[in-house]
Structure formats: structure tokens, C-alpha cells
Amino acid sequence: MIDQAQLDQLCINTIRTLSIDAIQKAQSGHPGTPMDAAPTIYCLWQRFLRYDPDAPNWPNRDRFVLSVGHASALLYSLLYLCGIKAMNSTDEQPGRLAVTLDDIKGFRQAGSRCTGHPEYGWTSGVETTTGPLGQGVATSVGMAIAQRWLAATYNRPGYDLFDHNVYALCGDGDMMEGVSSEAASLAGHLKLSNLCWIYDDNNITIEGSTNLTFTEDVAARFLGYGWNVTHVSDANDLEMLIRGYQIFHNTPDRPTLIIVKSHIGYGAPHKQDTREAHGEPLGSEEVRLAKQFYGWDPDAQFYVPDGVLEHFREQLGRRGATVRSAWENLFAAYRKQYPDLADQIDCMQRRDLPEGWDSALPTFPADEKGMATRDSSGKVLNAIAEKVPWLLGGAADLAPSTKTHLNFEFAGEFQAPGQESNYRGRNFHFGIREHGMCAIANGLSLSKLRPYASSFLIFTDYCRGALRLSAMMDLPVIYIWTHDSISMGEDGPTHQPIEQLASFRAMPGMIVLRPADANEVVEAWRVIMRVKDRPVSLVLTRQALVTLDRTTYAPASGVSRGAYVLADAPDNRPDVLLLATGSEVSLCIAAYEQLKSEGIKARVISMPSWELFESQGREYRDRVLPPGITARVAVEEASTFGWERYTGLDGTILGLHTFGLSAPMKVVAQHFGFDPTHVIAAAREQMARHGAKQ
């Protein structure tokens, strides 16, 4: 009869050989890390991870993040062997396995659940999309923060509803990427003792040995961050691995880094140039040698020995089912004692909104002096956050400037527990860590909280990787970007965004909202809060904008359709269309009034969101932008890229083709021609070109 040690080794080698075969069949992939890290992750999943294969979306499950996304074959092998059930909406057959053996055989092929890198929402058991190195570990910090906030907010004596841990497998590449350093620094500051990073230290990257580029003392760095650091000198030593995980569980006051020493292709003969084992299939001969070393039939492919599936599902499955069942009984009792809190948890898990969430939204009277849209947004944000307990977030050290601090009495500051702060606070302080902030926001959203993250629009250049993953994962993260144009003035070209709006509009899945006044801000927030499956970028001004008189102009509710007719010709038959977003809408209104006084029929169209407008039916879009009216002027203090879809090639686009200028706001505007005079001149030129009456 096979003993425990032999069974463990058999299971580990099954993970390895399934991964090898998948990569070899696909002729694409990275076999090295699945081979060397198999014991590390087998030990975690079989001995420690609290995870029910029948309920992979159970709220209090432990999270496992494969930050080394190139090692995806490792995760897919585990998901199959552990019998993880499919729970995602994309699955046509609820209850099927998340990953079947056929899926593994179709690794990296169209339609397979085993994509080249793990994709959240496509394959159950994938907690977050990974691949861009550093993103997984940074996102795991958001998950750990979410657990701490949920526990502090909803746990009650005798009801520890949220006590799960977060694990992330990372490698040398993760350690080199800057986003991981940002996130690790903040995790140490926050003393997230529920967070464990497992560093597969194999000293190899695509270009060769890490001696080429990476010779720092990682342990010393993490000790400096305030982490606990422990070492496992041999990735094949299960007893040492168990000890490492136990140290994590017994460390109550800081996150843990387990440094596991391994070699690419660990546990089998490997190529002299180990880069090949890292970045490409082994090749048929090397596969045979590896299998022979493992005691496998070298000709068998995708072979799962008798007893392996049963062992995986007995260990992880039974433990997970027991813990989940106990949790459900606990939550049922909690619901009886704390029905309002239980309803909040249910609502949060469904990404629904509580009743009356918008009951305190302000309205803003017409005002020539007006206010900055960042200021009106701050008022709206606070009104909503008081009604939506799980709406929380902060800025990259800029909350006073972006107006994103929650200032009602019970908002609080999220910090490691101390005299005046605790994990229940809803104001997050990310520090000057824009990229880390956005990755952390992804982790918060994946935990079903509703996070917002904020900075100046120009600094989104530092956030790009995490923003792209928000969109790819359909996460309703709220991004609040202020200082949105050259009108910020004296700070000059380094701080004046030009191409950022165009780049967001080019990103699939991202909604961009650039409101024109305070009441458009209110309506933008109505849109934002109802979005469940896409990130939104709310783009706001530093300078004051006129609050338009809505008894004269159209109501701001048109924001929900992305674009609407704000002001029109008396007979609704304009000769020229003036299109704008944000602060430039008021320029078009001034031009419209002047043209109107001269008997020229113009229409002003506020276009806060191209994405929402494009989602409208053809009839509505043609009503706003009649195809027969070809005299068109678009105005935006940003790159002109993309406006041609609305102006046509013969339209005029008043925008920017250079970087900005350091000078007072009015001087900058005059320098680049953003004033009513230039808008009127462009309108006249368009009318002349297209034969309209003047």
C-alpha cells in the first residue's frame, strides 16, 4: 500500500507532468515554474488553503493568486485535480468542472478555459487576471485589505464571518517590477498579517541568470518594509514548506514572505540552458527524460494515476466543504441577530445598491462663478458614501486636491489599529504609489467592495497596467482624475495632460466621463454607481466652471446617454454643430449665444462620455448628430485624436497637437486658442465650407 510520502510525491509529479504535456502539446508556454513550484503549491492547497471546490465564490474562502501568470499550467492542473466547479456566468453548464482534462489538452487554444495567462471571469478558481508581472501580488494586497475591512466592519463577537487569508505565488520578475514594491511597502505599513507572498526564488529570467540584473538582498528589503521573512532552502522539502506556512499562520502583526529556493525544472533533469525550460516547451526528448525521472511512462500523455484525483478531492475538498458549511450556518445565525448587516453583505456580494442610495444627492443652482467639478464631485461622493457603506477609497497622496476625502463623522481612516485609527476606516491613504493604488483597488473590487482611486489625470501614465486589467476583468472600479487639462496653468507641460483622454477612450471596457458643470457631475455619479461590470474614469477640473442655468438649457440627465443636445436652434434645425466635453462646453455655450444674437443657428452638444453615446441606438445618435449637418466643430483641451468620428474629415477640431505651456490659466487658454472667439471663427469657417447660411 502506498504511504503518505509516496502519495504526496505522486500528486506533485502529476501536477508537473500535466503541465509539461499541456505546454508541449500547445508548443507554447513556460514549463519551468510549474515544475519547480509544484511542491510549494501542492503543500499550500492540500494542507492549508481553506477553499471549497464546490463553491469557489464562497465569500470567506482563502484567496490564492498566481502572480507568476506565465506558470498558468500549474494552476490549471491544480484546478482540474482538485475538482473546482465552474461558477462563472460565461459557463453554459453550471456545475461542470472549471477545468476539464480536455481543457488542459487545449491549453492556449481558442475556447479552452486554459488560456495562456489566467483570466478572471473566464475560469473559476482564477481570482484575478495575471500575466503582467507584479500585478498579481499588488492586487493581493487589495484582497488582504478587503478582508481586514470586512472583518472590522461586519464581524461581531462570536461571529467571525471574515477571517480568510490571501496567498500569492510570485517570482523574480514580480520582485523586480516597481508595482510590487509599492504594494509591499504599503502592506507592511498596514501590518496585513493575513497576507502571505510565496517567492519562488529560482534565479532565472528570460535573458538568463538573475546575476545579470538582480543581486539585491530581497529578504533585507522586505524586513525593511516591516514584513516577516522566512526561508525554505529546498522546494521539494514538504516538511520545511509546512513549517513556512505555519510561521505565517503564527505571525499576528505583519505580512509574511516565504522565500522558497528552487531551480527551473526542479526535480528533473533539465536543459543546460535553463532559460529554455523557463520560456518555451521542453521538447519531446526532454519531456521523455523528465517523465522517466518521475517514474512515469514516457509515452503516456496527460496521465493521472489511480488515487490522485481522490486524494486531492479528499484533502482540499473535505476540508473546504466542512469549513464552508460551518460558515453558512454561522451566517444564518448572524442574519437572525444582525439582519441589517446581513442584508448589506448580500447587497455587496450582488454588486447592488442599497435602497435610497441617491436620496441625498445635491442639486446646484445656476451660478456664473460656478465651481470646479472636483469640488462638486467631492460633495456628491460624500452624499453617496454616507448611504453606501462599502463605497470607500482614497488618493495617491492627493485627497485634498482631488476632493476625495470622506468627511462625514463615521467615515474614519483605514490604518493598522492604533489609538485613533483602525481597519474599519473608509478613507485610504495610498501614499505616492499610483500604480500600487490602482492594483490594490482591483483587489478591493474583486472582494466585492466598491473602491475609488484618485490622482491627477497626468499621473495615470503611472497606472496603466492596473487600469488595463480593471477593464479586462470588467471590474467596477471608480477612478477619479482631476487637473484634467492645460487649464491647470502654471504647473506646465509636465502636469498638463494631453493624450490621456484619447488613450482611455481607446481602452476596451473603460467608460470615460468628463462632465461640464456641477449638475453634470451629479448625473455622472448616478451613472457610475449603477455600473456593475466596467471601470469608470471620472475626469474633473481644478478650475471653476459656470453652473449652467438648466431652465434655459437642457437638463443634465442627458449625461446618462453619453451625449445630448444642451442648446439648440429655435427651430431645432441648426446650421452648425458645436461639440465639446468638460470645461470646453461653456466655451461652446458662449459661442452659441453670440452666434444666436447674430441670427446664426447653432447647436451645442455636451459629450461627457463617448462610450455611453456609442451604446445608444442609431436613432438617438442621429437625432443628436444629424448626418445631414456636416458643418461641425469639436472643442477639447486635449489631443484631437479620435474626434474625426464625430466631426468627419472635413470638420474642425480645436484641440492640441503639442504639449502645454507653463503660464496662468487664461494666458494658456489664449495661447492655444481656447476662447469663444476662436470657436465662433471655426463655426463660421465650417458653415462657409459646407454651404450653410450665415
Q: Tell me: the pLDDT tens digits for 525-573?
A: 999 999 999 999 999 999 999 999 999 999 999 999 999 999 999 999 9
Q: Where are the alpha helices (DSSP H) in 2-58?
A: 4-26, 32-43
Residue 135 DSSP code: H
Segment among 253-267, 417-431, 609-623 with least mean pLDDT: 253-267
Per-residue pLDDT of 194-231, as tens digits, reads 999 999 998 877 777 878 888 899 999 999 999 999 99
Q: By C-alpha distance, which of 34, 32, 36, 42 is closest to 12?
A: 42
Topology agreement, domain 367-546 and domain 562-689? yes
CB 631 within 8 A of CB 576: yes
Cα–Cα distances in angstroms (integers) from residue 478 to residues 60, 363, 664, in the given order: 24, 22, 31
Cα–Cα distances in angstroms (integers) from residue 359 to residues 354, 379, 384, 538, 547, in the given order: 11, 14, 8, 21, 21
Per-residue pLDDT of 13-54, as tens digits, reads 999 999 999 999 999 999 999 999 999 999 999 999 999 999
Q: By C-alpha distance, which of 466, 511, 474 is closest to 88?
A: 474
pLDDT score recorded for residue 115: 96
Radius of gyration of the chain (CA): 28
Which candidate in 434, 523, 584, 637 is catalytic? 434
Predicted TM-score of the model (pTM): 0.96
Model confidence at 264, pLDDT cuts 50, 70, 90, reads: low
Residue 434 designated active-site: yes
d(CA 360, CA 488): 31
Residue 204 forms beta bridges with which residues? 209
Per-residue pLDDT of 79-90, as tens digits, reads 999 999 998 654
Class assignment of domain 562-689? alpha beta
Cα–Cα distances in angstroms (integers) from residue 166 to residues 139, 194, 234, 283, in the given order: 10, 6, 23, 35
User: Over 50: is that where the pLDDT of 180 sits?
Assistant: yes
Written as one letter, the residue type at 264 is I
Residue 304 DSSP code: -
Per-residue pLDDT of 99-149, as tens digits, reads 999 999 999 999 999 999 999 999 999 999 999 999 999 999 999 999 999
Question: What does the pLDDT average to over 498-512?
Answer: 98
Per-residue pLDDT of 347-404, as tens digits, reads 999 999 999 999 999 999 999 999 999 999 999 999 999 999 999 999 999 999 999 9
pLDDT score recorded for residue 212: 86
Model confidence at 91, pLDDT cuts 50, 70, 90, reads: very low
User: Over 80: is that where the pLDDT of 435 sits?
Assistant: yes
The neighbour count for residue 455, using CB atoms within 10 Å, is 28
Take residue 68 and report the three cell numbers written for it. 507568476
Please identify which residue in the block is written with the cell numbers 487576471: 129
Written as one letter, the residue type at 516 is A
Model confidence at 151, pLDDT cuts 50, 70, 90, reads: very high
Q: Output b/e per residue, 222-247; b: 16+ Cβ within 10 A.
A: beebbbbbbebeebbbbebbeebbee
Which fold does the domain 367-546 belong to in CATH? Rossmann fold (3.40.50)
pLDDT score recorded for residue 393: 98
User: Over 70: is that where the pLDDT of 168 sits?
Assistant: yes
Question: What does the pLDDT average to over 461-480?
Answer: 98
- DSSP assignment of 57-83 equals T-TTPPEEEES-GGGHHHHHHHHHHTT
Average pLDDT score, the chain:
94
Model confidence at 94, pLDDT cuts 50, 70, 90, reads: low
Helix, strand, or coil (residue 49): coil
> In the chain, what are the domain boundaries?
4-324, 367-546, 562-689
Question: What does the pLDDT average to over 504-510?
Answer: 98
pLDDT score recorded for residue 279: 64
Take residue 409 and report the three cell numbers written for it. 463623522
Question: What does the pLDDT average to over 670-682?
Answer: 96
CB 17 within 8 A of CB 296: yes
Question: What does the pLDDT average to over 252-271?
Answer: 76
Question: What does the pLDDT average to over 254-258?
Answer: 98
Per-residue pLDDT of 628-643, as tens digits, reads 999 999 999 999 999 9
User: Over 90: is that where the pLDDT of 232 sits?
Assistant: yes
Cα–Cα distances in angstroms (integers) from residue 208 to residues 74, 172, 199, 205, 425, in the given order: 22, 12, 18, 5, 45
pLDDT score recorded for residue 206: 75
The neighbour count for residue 6, using CB atoms within 10 Å, is 10
Please identify which residue in the block is written with the cell numbers 486554459: 114
Which fold does the domain 4-324 belong to in CATH? Rossmann fold (3.40.50)
